Structure 1
Amino acid sequence: MNLSLSRQRLDFWTVVTIAIIVMLSLLLILPILRVLLLGFIDPDTGQFTLGNFIEVFTRNYYVNGLKNTLFVGVLGTIGACLIGVPLAFFTTRFIVKGKALISTLAILVLVSPPFIGAYAWIMILGSNGVVTNFFGNFGLDVPTIYGAHGIILVFSLKFFPFIFLMTQTALNAVNKSLEDAAENLGCSPWQRFYKITLPLVFPAVSTGAIICFVLAIADFGTPAILGRGFRTLSTIALSAYRSELGGPPTMAVTVSILMMAISMLALLAQRRILSKRRYASSLTNLPVPVRLKGWKNALVHVLSHGIVILAMIPSAVVVYTSFLKTNGPVFVGGFGLESYQRIWRDAPEAITNSFLFAITAVVFITIASGLISYVIVRRETRAAASIDFLMMVPYLVPGVVMAIGFVTVFRNGFPDVFSAATLLIMIYFIRRLPYGVRSTTSSLRQIKPSLEEAAVNLGATPLGAFMKVTVPLILPGIIVGSLMSFITAINELSSTLIIYDSGTITMPVQVYVAVLDGEFGIAAALSTILLLSTGVCVYAVFRFTENRDSAFL
C-alpha cells in the first residue's frame, strides 16, 4: 500500500518538477550564491570580511562609477518615458496613419542589438561623424556623442518601446467616461491627462520604466563604446574581473552585487508604490480615437513617425555603412562589398559561433520551456510557485554577474571539463529561458486542462498526453518564445566578453572589438547580419502571434 502510494506521488510531472529544480539550482541559484559569497571573502586570507564593500563605498573610483550608473540609468529611463508615453497617447487617442508601421518599427528598435545604437551614433556624431564633419566644414563645433549625454541619448531611444508598448496597451483599456467626466468639470486636456489618464496607466508606465532602468544599469556595450572615461558599474566590473585573473574576482563580484541590489531595490520600490493605490478600471466604454484637423493633425503625425524614424536611424546607418567601399579600415568613397569580403575571410568563426551557440541554446530552451510552463500552470504546488518566481531572476541579474558566477562555479570550482563553448551555451540557455517560459505559459493558460485529462482517461501516459494534445495546441507560443530567445541570445555581449576565448568569439564581441580598433566597415557588416537575423525572427513572430506587441514584453 505504501509502495503504491509513493508511486502515485512520484508521478511523471513530479519527476519533471524535481529535475527543473535541480537544473535551476545548478545554473541559476548556485552561480548567484557563489557571487554573493565571494563578495564577503578576503582575497588574501580567504576569511569573511566587509572590507570589499567598504572599499566600494569609500574609494572614489567605485563611488563615481555608482553615481554614473544611477545618473545615466535614471535619466535614460526618464528620456524613454518622455518619448514613450506621448507616443502611446498619440497613437491611442488620435487617428494616426501608419499606426501599425509605428508599432513595428518600435519593436524592431526594441529587439535590435543594444550596442549597435552606440556604434551607429559614433558614425553620425563621433569625432569623425557625418554630422560632425558637415558642421565642421562651416567652422561650427558640434558636441560629440561621447560621454554621459551620448549614453543617455542611446538609452532613451533604445528603451522607449518598453514604455510605449505597455502604455499603449493600458491606454486602450481606460474607461473613457472618467476622462469625459473630467472634461465636463472644466479640466483642460493637459489637466485631464495628468490628473486622470496618467494615474490610471501608471502601473504600465512604471513597469516599463523599471525594465528600462534595470537594462540601462546592466548595459555594458553602450558605456564601453561611448564612455571615453565615463565609467559605469558594468564596465568597472568587467575591468576588475580582468585585472583579478589568476585569483578570486572579489572586487568584480562586489561591484556585481551592488548592481543586483540596485535592480532589486528598484523593483521593490515600484511594487510598494503600486500596492498603496488601486488602479483598476472596468473594461467598458473604451476610448475611440478622434481625427484631428489642421496643424494639430500634422504635428501629431510628424512627432509620431519622427520618433520611430529617429530611433531607426542607427540601424539604417549601420546597413548603409556596411556597403561603403573600403581600403582596409578606411572608407574611400563609393559602394562595394569589401567589408563583407573581409568578414568572410578574417572572421567567419564569429558568424558560425554566434549561430551555433544561439541555436543550440534555443533547442534546449524550447524543450525546457514547455515542461516548465506545464509545471507552473498545471501543478498548483509550492515548488511550481517557486519555479515561477525564479523565472523572474534572469531578468534582474546583469549578464556580467551571471558570467562571473558561471566562471567561478564551473571553471574554478569544477575540474576542467567545461569548455568556453559549453559555458556560453549554458549561460545563453539560463539567461534567455524566461522568454520561452513566459510565451509558452501565456499560451498554456488558454488551454483547458480537461483536454489533457480526457487523453489520460483514454489510456495515454502523462507524457503522451502532453506531447500529443498539449504541445500542438501551444505550438505558436513555443515558437514565439524560441524566436525571442534566439534574438536575445545571438545578440548577447556582456556575459560573452567574460567567458569567450580565441576559438569562441561571437559576432557581438567581434563588433565590439572592431569598433574599439576603428574597423567600422567590419563592425557594420557584422552588425547588418545581426540586424537581418533579428528582422527575420521578428517577421516570424508576427506570423505566429495575433497580439504582436505583447509578444515582445
Structure 2
Amino acid sequence: MRNGTNDLMWKMKMILKEPILIIFILLLLLLLTVFVFYPLLMLIKYSITADGGELSLQTIWAVVKNSSYRIIFSNSIKLGLISACIATIIGYIFAFAITRTELPMKGFMKTMATLPIVSPPFVLSLSIIFLFGRKGLITNGLLGITDFNVYGMHSLILVQTISFFPVAYLTLSGILQAIDSSVEDAALNLGASRWKIFWTVTFPLSLPGIFSAFLLVFIQSLQDFSNPAVIGGGFPTLGVEAYRVITGMYDLRTGAILSIMLLIPSLMAFLLQRYWISGKGFVTVTGKPSQNRTKLNQRHIVIPLFAVCLLFCAVIVLFYGTVIVGAFVKVWGVNYSFTLDHFRYVFSIGFKPLRNAVTLAIIATPITGLTGMAIAFLTVRKSFFGKRYMSLASLLTFALPGTVVGISYILAFNDRPFLLTGTAVILICVFVFRNLPVGIEGASSALMQIDPSIEEASINMGAGSFYTFFHITLPLIRGAFFSGLVYSFVRAMTAVSAIIFLVSARWNVVTTRIFSLFEVSQYSDAAAYIVIMIIVIACAIYVLNFLVSKMDPEKNAMVRK
C-alpha cells in the first residue's frame, strides 16, 4: 500500500506520462480563467476607474451616499433572510416527513417538492397575477376585491418561498437520512418522548444542514431576478435596479457597482456555507446511518405533518394549474372562453426565441455535463499544479448572481481580443460555466464513494486517463452525470438575469421574450410560452434519462445476452 506522500508522487508521475492530459488540464485552467475570473476582474476594474481609465472612487461614493440605493440593498437582504427562513422551515418539514415517517402519498409529495426546481421562471409570478391581481380569479372573481395590490414584498416572499424551498428540502433530506436512528432509539428506550427526542437529538444533529440550507436559499433569493422584476412593484431589489439603471438610464458604471453590492453578500454566504459544510460533521454513535430505519407511524405525528405537506402541495398545484389554464383562455379575468390563439402566436410570430433557446441548451448541455464530470475526475483523482485553482474557479460561479455574470461578460467580451457580444458563443459560454458547480459537486461525491483502485488498475494495464474516464469512471457515476445534464439543460432553458444583457436581435431567447410580454401585460401569451417550455423540459429529461441509462454496464450486458 502507498502512503500519502508516495501516492501523491505516483499520481504526479503518472500524469506526466500523458502529455495530452496535461494539455487538457492547461486548456481547462485557461478557459476557467477567461470565463470566470477575467470578467470579474473587468467588472471590478470598471467600477473603480473613470472614463479616462484613471483610478476614481467618485461613482462608488455617489452610490454609497445615495439613500435610495441603500434602501434597495436593505430590501434585497431583508427579502433574502425572510424567504430563507420560511423556505428552510418548510423544506425541513417536507424532508422530515418524507424521510422519517410513514407518510401517505410520498411519491406525489416528492414530485411537488422538486417541481419548482425544474420549472420555467415566471410561473409563480404569473400565477400570483392570475389569482390575486386586479382581474384575479380569487381577489376579483371570488372575493370581489378590485383594488388589491399584488405587487410588493408580500408576494415576493410567497413566490420565493415556493421557488426555493426545494433547495432546502434536498439538502436536508440527505442530512436526516444520514443520522443514525440508533441514537434516537437509545433515547426512546430511556423513556424520552418523541417530542423530546426530536428537540434534543434529531434537531441538534441536523443543525449544520439547516444552516447550510438557509445559506443556499439566501443565495438563491439574492440572485433571483425574474420574480422581483415581475411582481416587485414598489419593492426594488439590487438585481432589478442594476438592470433598470443600465437599460433605462444607460449608466453601465453605476449598474456595475450595484452588481458588486449584490455580489458581496452572495459571495460571503457562499464561502460561509462552504466553510460550514467542510468544517462540520454529522457525528452519531456509529457514524453510519441505520440500514433498517424504523419510520414513525404514530397518528398524532403523521397526520399533522401530512396535513401541512398536503396543503403546501395543493398551493403548488393551484399555482401551476392556473398558469396552464391561463394559456387556453382568451383574456384572463374578462373572457374565459377556450382558445388556442396564444399557442398559434408562439409557433408563428414568437417561435424564433423558443427555437434559439432549445438550440443553445442542446449545444451547452453535453459540454457542461462532460466538463463538470472531467473537472470532478481531475480534482478528486489526479494531483497537478493548479488543482485548487481549478476547483475554486469551477465552483465560484454558483456564488455569482446572474446580474453580475451578465454585466461582467459585457465588459469582458465587448472588445478585442474577446469580441463575443451579440453571438451565440457568449450565451453558450454563460450556460456552460454558470451551470458547472452542480455537476461537479454530484460527481465529486460519487467518486469519493468509488474505490480508486478500479481506475488505477485500468491505468496500470496501459489504458490512458481519457479511456479510463469514458469507459470506467463515467458509467460508474452516471447518476451524477444525469443530474448534471438535467440541471444544465433546465438552467440553460430558464436563464434570465445572466443573459438579459447579452441577447441580441439574432439570438433572442424564450425567457427574455416572456419578460417582454410581462412588460406589455400579454399574460396569456406568456402562459403559452411557459406551458411549451414545461413540455420541452419534460421531454428533455426523458431523453437524457434514456441516453444515460444506455451507459449502465449491467443493462447493456443483459441486452447482449
For normalisation by structure 2, the TM-score amounts to: 0.87
Which one-letter code corresponds to 2:384 in the other structure? T
User: Aligned to 1:391, which of 394, 399, 420?
Assistant: 394
Change beyond 3 A, Cα 1:291–1:366: closer
Change beyond 3 A, Cα 1:141–1:128: closer
Q: Does 1:32 align with 2:31?
A: no
Change beyond 3 A, Cα 1:370–1:96: closer
CA distance in 2, matches of 1:224, 1:47: 34
Per the alignment, residue 440 of structure 2 pairs with: 437
User: Aligned to 2:227, which of 216, 222, 231?
Assistant: 222
Deviation at 1:374?
2.3
1:411-426 pair list within 5 angstroms: 411-412=414-415, 414=417, 416=419, 418-426=421-429
CA distance in 2, matches of 1:154, 1:30: 34
User: Could you list the per-position Cα deviations for residues 373-414 of structure 1 after superposition, in whole angstroms to 9, with x for gaps in the alignment?
Assistant: 221122123522321222221110011111111111111454
Per the alignment, residue 529 of structure 1 pairs with: 532
User: Aligned to 1:310, which of 309, 315, 335?
Assistant: 315
CA distance in 2, matches of 1:473, 1:278: 26
Per the alignment, residue 233 of structure 1 pairs with: 238
Per the alignment, residue 495 of structure 2 pairs with: 492
CA distance in 1, matches of 2:280, 2:318: 40
Deviation at 1:331?
5.7
What SS class does the counterpart of residue 56 from structure 2 fall into?
A: coil
Per the alignment, residue 133 of structure 1 pairs with: 140
Per the alignment, residue 261 of structure 2 pairs with: 258
Per the alignment, residue 482 of structure 1 pairs with: 485
Per the alignment, residue 27 of structure 2 pairs with: 19
**2:88, 2:217 within 8 Å by CA — same for their partners in 1?**
no
Per the alignment, residue 168 of structure 1 pairs with: 173
Deviation at 1:179?
3.6
Per the alignment, residue 164 of structure 2 pairs with: 159
CA distance in 2, matches of 1:182, 1:451: 42
Q: Does 1:408 align with 2:414?
A: no
Q: Please, which runs of 5 or more residues in structure 1 have no aligned partner?
A: 546-553
User: Could you list the per-position Cα deviations for residues 441-499 of structure 1 after superposition, in whole angstroms to 9, with x for gaps in the alignment?
Assistant: 34444444444444444444443343444444444433331222001111001122111
**2:180, 2:289 within 8 Å by CA — same for their partners in 1?**
yes
CA distance in 2, matches of 1:461, 1:78: 49
Q: Does 1:212 align with 2:217?
A: yes
**2:328, 2:338 within 8 Å by CA — same for their partners in 1?**
yes
Per the alignment, residue 380 of structure 1 pairs with: 383
Deviation at 1:62?
0.8
CA distance in 2, matches of 1:368, 1:202: 33
What SS class does the counterpart of residue 152 from structure 1 fall into?
A: helix
What SS class does the counterpart of residue 111 from structure 2 fall into?
A: helix
Question: Which stretch shifts more, 118-127 or 84-93?
Answer: 84-93
Which one-letter code corresponds to 2:367 in the other structure? F
Deviation at 1:272?
6.2
**1:324, 1:333 within 8 Å by CA — same for their partners in 2?**
yes
CA distance in 2, matches of 1:143, 1:511: 24
Per the alignment, residue 548 of structure 1 pairs with: none
CA distance in 2, matches of 1:154, 1:230: 14
Q: Does 1:109 align with 2:116?
A: yes
Q: Does 1:146 align with 2:151?
A: yes
Q: Does 1:466 align with 2:469?
A: yes
What SS class does the counterpart of residue 288 from structure 1 fall into?
A: coil
CA distance in 1, matches of 2:14, 2:482: 36
Deviation at 1:12?
2.6
What SS class does the counterpart of residue 497 from structure 1 fall into?
A: coil
**2:43, 2:408 within 8 Å by CA — same for their partners in 1?**
yes
What SS class does the counterpart of residue 403 from structure 2 fall into?
A: helix
CA distance in 1, matches of 2:79, 2:534: 26
CA distance in 2, matches of 1:40, 1:507: 35
User: Aligned to 2:107, which of 81, 100, 107?
Assistant: 100
User: Aligned to 1:292, which of 298, 302, 317?
Assistant: 298
Which one-letter code corresponds to 1:497 in the other structure? I
**2:267, 2:400 within 8 Å by CA — same for their partners in 1?**
no
User: Aligned to 2:247, which of 242, 245, 248?
Assistant: 242
CA distance in 1, matches of 2:40, 2:532: 33
Question: Which stretch shifts more, 92-101 or 334-343?
Answer: 92-101
**1:480, 1:541 within 8 Å by CA — same for their partners in 2?**
no
CA distance in 2, matches of 1:370, 1:12: 18
Per the alignment, residue 62 of structure 2 pairs with: 55
Change beyond 3 A, Cα 1:297–1:542: farther
CA distance in 2, matches of 1:136, 1:509: 34
CA distance in 2, matches of 1:456, 1:176: 41
Question: Which stretch shifts more, 181-190 or 403-412?
Answer: 181-190
User: Could you list the per-position Cα deviations for residues 81-111 of structure 1 after superposition, in whole angstroms to 9, with x for gaps in the alignment?
Assistant: 2211122222233211111221122111222
1:314-325 pair list within 5 angstroms: 314-325=319-330
**1:16, 1:371 within 8 Å by CA — same for their partners in 2?**
no
Change beyond 3 A, Cα 1:457–1:70: closer
Q: Does 1:512 align with 2:479?
A: no
CA distance in 2, matches of 1:455, 1:299: 54
Per the alignment, residue 288 of structure 2 pairs with: 283
Deviation at 1:288?
1.7
What SS class does the counterpart of residue 110 from structure 2 fall into?
A: helix
User: Aligned to 2:198, which of 193, 200, 215?
Assistant: 193
**2:177, 2:289 within 8 Å by CA — same for their partners in 1?**
no
Which one-letter code corresponds to 1:60 in the other structure? S
**2:39, 2:411 within 8 Å by CA — same for their partners in 1?**
yes
Change beyond 3 A, Cα 1:98–1:32: same
Change beyond 3 A, Cα 1:538–1:288: farther
Change beyond 3 A, Cα 1:434–1:407: same
Deviation at 1:46?
2.8
**2:180, 2:288 within 8 Å by CA — same for their partners in 1?**
yes
Change beyond 3 A, Cα 1:189–1:337: same
Residue identity (%): 24
Deviation at 1:284?
4.9
**2:15, 2:21 within 8 Å by CA — same for their partners in 1?**
no
